[in-house]
Amino acid sequence: MASEFKKKMFWRAVVAEFLAMSLFIFISIGSALGFSFPVVGNKTSTRSQDNVKVSLAFGLSIATMAQSVGHISGAHLNPAVTLGLLLSCQISILKAIMYIIAQCLGAVVATAILSGVTSSLPNNLLGLNSLSEGINAGQGLGIEIIATFQLVLCVLATTDRRRNDVSGSAPLAIGLSVALGHLLAIDYTGCGINPARSFGSALIANNFENHWIFWVGPIIGGASAALIYDFILAPRSSDLTDRMKVWTSGQVEEYDLEGDDMNSRVEMKPK
């Protein structure tokens, strides 16, 4: 772990996660808050939230950030995705911890900036995730598990280096998966599926009611997707020794921006 800690590429990846997460949160939650501003015309009225607009904003912002920093950090932008890739033995434990810290810090910073931008909004909860009326904690947890499961499964499948049949864009596929999760979950839980995103809003709004759901649900969903994909759907041949080596030292075949082969094709892949 100490050797990985000293690499410039390691810290570039952590910084990339922080910056991309900040932009993702600002754009996506900013689009969700926008519906609260009154429409000025012949009369002033308040629009209802457009779930399709918000879902597309979340999905397209993830796709854009994944295309922008995927070759540097893998563009996890979600602790549940980071956990899934850790269990899939694609990143080290140290990198997973640093990524999750960077993601949470990025979400807090972006939400704090949004708090200032939207300070004129009454009862501004800054995209706080909460259970809808008629939805109990167990039901909300189930929604979060399922929505996160399909996201992490998509990430693992589209970035699997063993595949040669993926002809489309991996970032776009993952972005559409994020949008799909929001189309499902917004009306039930506000759609967390990303503990860092939920944490930023809860911290700045100082409201942690039922906040555990938005950590436990994505963690269970992400871990389940990784285990099912790695051991049932597409089993890996690596033994325990190889897995332990990745957990302690990281991937041995990582793309290096300072490497000799600068003409090789850069692919989005988890680091």
Q: Is the dihedral of CA 195, 148, 82, 176 positive or negative?
A: negative
Whether residue 199 contacts residue 104, with contact meaning beta carbons closer than 8 Å, is answered with yes
In tens digits, the chain (271 residues) has pLDDT values of 567 777 889 899 999 999 999 999 999 999 988 766 555 554 444 556 688 999 999 999 999 999 999 999 999 999 999 999 999 888 989 999 999 999 999 999 999 999 999 888 777 889 999 999 999 999 999 999 999 999 999 999 999 888 888 778 899 999 999 999 999 999 999 999 999 999 999 999 999 999 999 999 999 999 999 999 999 998 877 666 777 777 677 764 443 344 434 343 334 444 4
Q: What is the pLDDT of residue 98?
A: 95
214 backbone dihedrals φ, ψ, rounded to 5°: -85, 5
Q: What is the pLDDT of residue 78?
A: 97
Nearby residues of 253 by Cβ (< 8 Å), 6 or more positions away: none
Q: What is the pLDDT of residue 259?
A: 43
Q: What is the pLDDT of residue 125?
A: 87
Q: What is the pLDDT of residue 146?
A: 97
Q: What is the pLDDT of residue 48?
A: 61
Q: What is the pLDDT of residue 38?
A: 55
Q: How far apart are CA 105 and CA 18, in angstroms?
A: 7
Report yes or no on 73 lying in a domain: yes
Report yes or no on 135 lying in a domain: yes
Q: What is the pLDDT of residue 257?
A: 41
Report yes or no on 66 lying in a domain: yes
What is the full DSSP assignment across 221-239? Answer: HHHHHHHHIIIIIS-----
Report yes or no on 86 lying in a domain: yes
Q: 């992400």: which residue's tokens?
A: 222
Taking the CB of residue 40, how many other CB atoms lie within 10 A of it? 8
**Total tally of structural domains belonging to the chain:** 1
Report yes or no on 268 lying in a domain: no
249 backbone dihedrals φ, ψ, rounded to 5°: -120, -10
The CATH number given to whatever domain includes residue 235 is: 1.20.1080.10
Q: What is the pLDDT of residue 37?
A: 57
If we measure between CA atoms, which residue out of 106, 127, 100 comes closest to residue 31? 127
Q: Which domain holds residue 192?
A: 4-35+49-119+126-245
Report yes or no on 43 lying in a domain: no
Q: What is the pLDDT of residue 85?
A: 93
